[in-house]
């Protein structure tokens, strides 16, 4: 047995009757079908109309309630609340509209009234300040800069001195001072120019002066007295870097590696020191060797330190030694078969040796000043014999 269900969306009555009849069997009769149609399908329009009516009634009710609430609020407003609203900013005042002219004051009118009140207060304050200003305060204001003067306006001519007038007065004072200073400087310059002209007339034309030649010290020979006798045999047995052969040489030779230095000691307590660098290094190395002997038990003292000989070199220009030997005013010896250099004595102590390459050796001096003097004495003769 076949059965069918009834759908609420079917509208056509005849279509429903035909669809429900199947092989002589019907679930609902025609009267029941008509009742279903009238109840659920034919009354759809009525439902929509009823809903519209209810919505309109609800809107009217809400509007009435809002009007009643606004009227109640307006009635509850007192004088104190009105003053409070007057003090509120414009944005908050727009939230409380009212029909009265006093309550519906706009933001523009409120702002203009407030500005007028503030201006009146400022004018009263400025008048009071002007009355309180004394003579001392006026002088003080005159000395103030322009930026601060703009903060104290006044109607009087003495007090209302503008920044331009003040600046012009100050500029005039500064210009007068500058003119006085320039006049004094010009007078001083004229006096100095006169003195310079006088000195230039007296002085000879200046010559370009080259830096003085300075020789390079390469060996220092010094002596010192230790103030006690030395046992050279015990020193040779106990110390290192020592040479001692009494059959060939009576002195004891001791060497230092860094810095390079050589010392010769004698049994009488005298010591000689050879150093390659400078006078200060020679003194330092002599004290160092004396301290070593003191550690071995000798009552050593550092007495009578003296520089006995300085050896220095200087590189000049190539020279013709034959012409130099003829021109030189000192006693010179030059024999190319025996020795390639020319030797002469500039001083009784200082000996100078000149080679054809321009190298100069200086020996016999006891101070750097003596070396410089000997070099300056030989160079003019060498310039005359310079090779081209």
Summarize pLDDT for 282-307 with one digit per residue, the tens: 999 999 999 999 998 899 999 999 99
Opening angle at CA 382, ends 330 and 355, nearest 5: 85
> Are the C-beta atoms of residues 286 and 222 closer than 8 Å to each other?
yes
Quick check: 233 pLDDT over 90?
A: yes
Q: Supply the pLDDT for residue 38.
A: 64
Opening angle at CA 129, ends 126 and 134, nearest 5: 145
Instruction: Give the chain's mean pLDDT.
Output: 76
Q: Which position has the higher pLDDT, 204 or 147?
A: 147
Give pLDDT tens digits for 87-102: 666 666 665 554 444 4
> Helix H segments across 220-301?
232-238, 279-295
Q: Supply the pLDDT for residue 330.
A: 84
Percent of the chain having pLDDT more than 70? 62
Give pLDDT tens digits for 375-386: 999 999 999 988
- Classify residue 374 as exposed, middle or buried by CB count within 10 Å of its CB (0-12, 13-18, 19+): buried
Quickly state the pLDDT bin for 167 (edges 50, 70, 90).
Answer: low
- Encoding tokens for residue 209? 């002066």
- Strands 261-265 vs 332-333: parallel, antiparallel or unpaired: unpaired
Strand order in the sheet with 342-345: 242-244, 252-256, 261-265, 270-275, 216-225, 303-315, 359-365, 351-354, 342-345, 332-333
Q: Supply the pLDDT for residue 114.
A: 72
Quick check: 153 pLDDT over 60?
A: no
Residue among 274, 360, 342 nearest 310 (CA): 274
Q: How far is CA 321 from the centre of its chain?
A: 62
Quickly state the pLDDT bin for 52 (edges 50, 70, 90).
Answer: confident
Q: Supply the pLDDT for residue 23.
A: 42
Quick check: 322 pLDDT over 80?
A: yes
> Helix H segments across the chain?
13-20, 30-40, 44-76, 79-87, 90-93, 107-132, 135-143, 146-149, 163-202, 232-238, 279-295, 321-327, 368-384
- Strands 351-354 vs 242-244: parallel, antiparallel or unpaired: unpaired
For the residues 108-126, what does the mean pLDDT come to?
Answer: 74
Quickly state the pLDDT bin for 342 (edges 50, 70, 90).
Answer: very high
- Other C-beta atoms closer than 10 Å to the C-beta of 31 total 8
For the residues 327-334, what does the mean pLDDT come to?
Answer: 87
Quick check: 158 pLDDT over 50?
A: no
């Amino acid at each position: 047995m076949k059965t069918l269900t009834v759908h609420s969306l079917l509208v056509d009555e005849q279509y429903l009757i035909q669809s429900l009849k199947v092989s002589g069997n019907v679930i609902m009769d025609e009267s029941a079908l008509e009742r279903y149609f009238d109840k659920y399908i034919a009354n759809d329009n009525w439902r929509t109309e009823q809903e519209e009516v209810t919505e309109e009634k609800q809107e009217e009710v809400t509007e009435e309630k809002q009007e009643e609430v606004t009227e109640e609020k307006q009635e509850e407003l007192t004088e104190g609340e009105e003053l409070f609203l007057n003090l509120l900013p414009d944005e908050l005042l727009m939230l409380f509209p009212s029909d009265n002219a006093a309550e519906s004051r706009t933001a523009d009118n409120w702002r203009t009234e407030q500005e007028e009140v503030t201006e009146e207060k400022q004018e009263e304050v400025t008048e009071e300040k002007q009355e309180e200003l004394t003579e001392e305060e006026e002088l003080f204001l005159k000395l103030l800069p322009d930026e601060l003067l703009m903060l104290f306006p006044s109607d009087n001519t003495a007090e209302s001195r503008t920044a331009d007038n003040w600046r012009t007065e100050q500029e005039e004072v500064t210009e007068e001072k500058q003119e006085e200073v320039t006049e004094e400087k010009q007078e001083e310059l004229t006096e100095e120019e006169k003195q310079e002209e006088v000195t230039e007339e007296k002085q000879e034309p200046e010559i370009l002066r080259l830096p003085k030649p300075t020789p390079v010290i390469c060996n220092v020979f010094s002596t010192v007295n230790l103030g006690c006798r030395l046992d050279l045999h015990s020193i040779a047995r106990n110390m290192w870097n020592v040479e001692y052969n009494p059959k060939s040489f009576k002195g004891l030779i001791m060497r230092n590696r860094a810095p390079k230095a050589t010392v010769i000691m004698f049994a009488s307590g005298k010591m000689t020191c050879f150093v390659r660098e400078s006078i200060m290094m020679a003194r330092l190395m002599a004290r160092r060797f004396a301290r070593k002997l003191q550690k071995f038990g000798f009552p050593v003292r550092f007495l009578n330190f003296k520089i006995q000989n300085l050896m220095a070199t200087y590189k000049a220009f190539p020279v013709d030694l034959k012409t130099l030997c003829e021109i030189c005013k000192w006693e010179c010896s030059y024999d190319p078969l025996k020795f390639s250099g020319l030797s002469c004595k500039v001083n009784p102590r200082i000996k100078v040796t000149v080679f054809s390459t321009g190298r100069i050796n200086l020996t016999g001096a006891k101070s750097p000043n003596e070396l410089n003097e000997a070099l300056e004495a030989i160079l003019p003769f060498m310039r005359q014999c310079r090779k081209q």
